[in-house]
Amino acid sequence: MGVTMNYQTLKIDYQSAVQRIQIHRPEANNSINSQLIQELLSALQAAEADETVKVVILEGLPDVFCTGMDFQEVADGTNIDPKASSHDYYNILKQMSQSSKVIVSLVRGKVQAGGVGLVAVSDIVIADETVTFVLSELLFGLLPACVLPFLIRRIGFQKAYRLALTTQEISASEAYTLGLVDEYGSNTNKLISQYVKRLKYLPSSGVRELKNYISQLWIIQSETQELAVNKISSLLGDPTVQEKIKRFNNEGVYPWQA
């Protein structure tokens, strides 16, 4: 059986070869703060170490999957080392992409910025019809630096570039057309069960071999992580960017509304 630890930002449930990890920060719109990063990486590593786990289901709340970086943490200045946090976030994506478990994301409601990265790196993505995706970083003078390597791998260069450039919100059907979502509909439990009943019989060693082989066909290497982390941490250190984030966090004013 899986071991459940006492997480503050996650809810963990284990049942019959399936580990469900729910991002649970309703008070912060399921945004990613330093505690969530550490706990999610810990939960993924614990699932990896558990031989009885074959499938990991990552989900959020019914109205919001994940909204990316916690601007409150940035505005408060509590995130004192953006480079370390960016490395840790990237390590979550790397952990998911290299895991011997099949990672299935169940996405509902809002998926923004870093939340898109969690979806892009998942092996299977199931969405309901309420889901919306948006890469909003450029609005604040930031870049989805850690997200893009994995998003490009999933949907292709131009499609990923357009989402980052236009900051355009897309629906479930649009995400399905792009390849960001594998299946969508109103009965997500049925869609997931159809996958899980087959995936849970796959040997973890085979899943790991497939992911290792796929990774060697793609450009995501250690240099990619350094490039991504250095870019986002340098932008977060820009006083103009910090001011835009603080104003949005405190007043809800977007940069173009100033």
- pLDDT, one tens digit per residue, over 141-158 is 999 999 999 999 999 999
174 is catalytic: no
Residue of 39, 73, 137, 182 with catalytic role: 137
Q: How many residues does the chain have?
A: 258
- Confidence tier at 253 by pLDDT (50, 70, 90): confident
Within 10 Å of residue 170's Cβ, how many Cβ atoms? 21
Residue of 59, 70, 73, 182 with catalytic role: 70
Q: DSSP letter at 124?
A: E
pLDDT tens sequence across 201-239: 999 999 999 999 998 888 788 899 999 999 999 998 888
Instruction: Tell which residue, 57, 148, 44, has the closest CA to residue 96.
Output: 44
183 is catalytic: no
For 249, the 3-state DSSP assignment is: helix
Q: Which domains does the chain have, with CATH numbers?
A: 10-189+199-205 (3.90.226.10)
The residues pairing with 171 across neighbouring beta strands, listed in sequence order, are: 132
